[in-house]
Amino acid sequence: MKTYLGVELGSTRIKAISIDECFSPVSQGDYTWASSYENGIWTYDLTEARRGLIEAIKGIENREDILSAGISGMMHGYLAFDEDWNLLVPFRTWQNTITAEAAAELTELFGFNVPQRWSIAHLWQAVLNGEEHLPRLAHITTLSGYIHYMLTGVNAVGICEASGIFPIDSDDLCYNRVMVDKFNKLLKDKGIEKSVLDLMPAVLTAGEDAGALTEAGAAFIDHLLPVGIPFAPPEGDGGTGMTATNSVAVGTGNVSAGTSIFSMVVLDKYLENVYEEIDLITTPAGKPVAMVHCNNCTTDTNHWASMLEEAANLFGATPTKGELFTKLYEKSLEGDADCGGIMVCNYLAGEGVTHMDKGRPMVVRTPESSFTLANFFRASLYSTMATLKLGMEILEKEKVEIKSMTGHGGLFKTPVVGQKYMAAAIGAPITCTETAGEGGAYGIALLAAYRYDGKEISLDEYLSSKVFAEATSITLAPDETDIKGFNAYMDNYKKLLKVEEKAVEVI
């Protein structure tokens, strides 16, 4: 059996998946990891990234029959290296909200929203801070870009990944030259003669040759894969999410919901107005995309589920994680549509959409609220998508047309529940395919397949005509009662955010 391999370094799991020539998953492996908060920085250890990569690939069967492969990872952040690719500062992830000054200055300079988590914001903040590593800086890249380089020796990223590093010109399919010139002037004014183009990885579009596994790359992963496997351009979880859900054509969109949550809608042209809450990135083929990204999604809910598991263990019950989440998700369906007046804020980290630099997760209820397990867990699940809804309201005002919306990621693994609530949140039907829970690893495996045999047609045509033509999917339209209930919850949630602001201030 000939297969394609996709590996994603996600925020909670490093996952490898192989798919056959009919695009069905055939084997997979994973490794669980987590970010750590060190000296005020959210980070991951790159040594553990390598260890997790190896463990995930060990789960793949028939590795000698892989036709092509690809690497995906969390978008954004700051990985800074010297000329010899020695790490200069700990990896600064997308979770950090430490670049407000830089992001604001670049947004004003470019007339283009530059969020705090973008690599260029981290770089400029380092310059503003006068950080001592800058004279030795030779490369900045992302997690997928770094792993791809270690495997292939090619310092390049896919265009969607690149669009979270620096603004992209979607006509020329490269970094925006006008903005590059403006940024270089900023660097020069600070006494830095290097061009930002020399620091950033090259930009490749879906289907392009991104190198092959080298001898050194094979050694990096303990020789688990044979030398010479061709690689697709490495992509971030934004690009792989679009691919995994067949959401790369204009008017299509998707919601990825796991540790973070984000929606992406493919545009026919960039938005005319600048919004701090809306990222403008691209598809893996370079089409413009409006993205609403929220740092906080299921982590707080997972913590509550773990505590409830401890309670079950007291009585001798030992449910698996799958059983635990399925039961709790399904129990939430018995709750009131408005969660009985219970409010949950799931902010463990800061949140750009609501302009908060830190998070304080909390549960708030009034004395007359109906505090049941069903209502509480429904409120917890509502909280995973509440901030996303605030950002999506901006696209509604801009009259962005959404023809279809697909959900994927851990929130949608339990059938119906997450899909039902998301449909109510955005007021539009949500489709989930049978691979909805596979996420970015599946998406980069599809891009590896496209790299191997799909380059004669466009990416959206390849996905529609070959990959998803006969895919099994379920679409749920929003229920009117759920919409009213979610809107009532949102009224309370907006008030809760004022409490959250005060909690950040005093706790």
Residue 240 contacts residue 440 (beta carbons within 8 Å): yes
Tell me which fold the domain 76-141+166-199 belongs to: Nucleotidyltransferase; domain 5 (3.30.420)
- State the architecture of 299-432+477-506 in CATH terms: 2-Layer Sandwich (3.30)
| pLDDT tens per residue, range 413-462 | 898 999 999 999 988 889 988 765 667 899 999 999 999 987 789 999 99
Of residues 504, 474, 449, 421, the one with CA closest to residue 20: 449
Domain 1-74+209-245+438-469 has CATH 3.30.420.40: yes
Q: Which residues pair with 66 in a beta bridge?
A: 3
Residue 425 contacts residue 486 (beta carbons within 8 Å): yes
Of residues 402, 397, 398, 393, the one with CA closest to residue 428: 402
Question: What is the spatial distance between Cα 379 and Cα 188, in angstroms, rounded to a whole number?
Answer: 51
CATH 3.30.420.40 residue spans of the chain? 1-74+209-245+438-469, 76-141+166-199, 299-432+477-506
| pLDDT tens per residue, range 67-88 | 999 999 999 999 999 999 999 9
pLDDT on residue 436: 57
Q: Calculate helix-pair angle for 417-426, 321-332, nearest 10 degrees.
A: 50
Residue-by-residue pLDDT tens, the chain, 507 positions: 899 999 999 988 999 999 999 999 999 999 999 999 999 999 999 999 999 999 999 999 999 999 999 999 999 999 999 999 999 999 999 888 899 999 999 999 999 999 999 999 999 999 999 999 999 999 999 999 999 999 999 999 999 999 999 999 989 999 999 999 999 999 999 999 999 999 999 999 999 999 999 999 999 999 999 999 999 999 998 899 899 889 999 988 999 888 889 899 999 888 888 998 898 999 999 999 998 989 899 999 999 999 999 999 999 999 999 999 999 999 999 999 999 999 999 999 889 889 898 999 999 999 999 999 999 999 999 999 999 999 998 888 888 888 878 988 788 889 899 999 999 998 888 998 876 566 789 999 999 999 998 778 999 999 999 998 888 888 999 999 999 999 999 999 999 999 999 999 999
Predicted structure pTM score: 0.82
b/e string for 437-468 if b means 16 or more Cβ within 10 A?
bbbbbbbbbbbbbbbbebeeebbbebbbebbb
pLDDT on residue 440: 85
